[in-house]
Amino acid sequence: MELTPETSAYYNGMFANGRCYRYYEDDKLIGLVTFFVGDDDKKYLYDKTPWSIVDDDPLGKTVYVDQLITLGGTRNLWREFNKIILKWKGLYPNITSVMWIRMSSDFRKHKKEGVPHGFRKLVK
């Protein structure tokens, strides 16, 4: 992936906000997850561009995985990311689920057609 000024600003902002999880195996970067805490308001699903940084909602119930970049084999990444989210429940006690919004590069199409597909995993 080539970094542009827009994507560079996004990743720098997410790092600065503590909203970027880096997963390593044997000192090798395997995956990168950016995320934020929100509610089920449509602004989190449709009203943001792929490179917008969304402020966390202190009362939010959902951790939204905003961007996911991986070299493959995500099972361990998700296991470790879930541990991070469980720690977050201390800061955001209302968290009940994680939502990964998987969209094509044409996010406007999803905005027009309805809810993008993704998954929810209840945080225990």
Q: How many domains does the chain have?
A: 1
**How far from each other are the two terminal CA atoms of the chain, in whole angstroms?**
34
Average pLDDT, the chain: 78
* Full residue range of the structural domain in which residue 34 is found: 5-122
Q: What is the domain-level CATH number for residue 44?
A: 3.40.630
Distance of CA 102 to the CA centre of its chain: 10
pLDDT score for 8: 86
Give the rounded percent of residues in the chain with a pLDDT score beyond 90.
10
Give the range among 24-28, 54-58, 85-89, 117-121 with minimum mean pLDDT. Answer: 117-121
- Quote the pTM value: 0.76
Asked whether 85 and 98 are in contact (CB, 8 A), the reply is yes
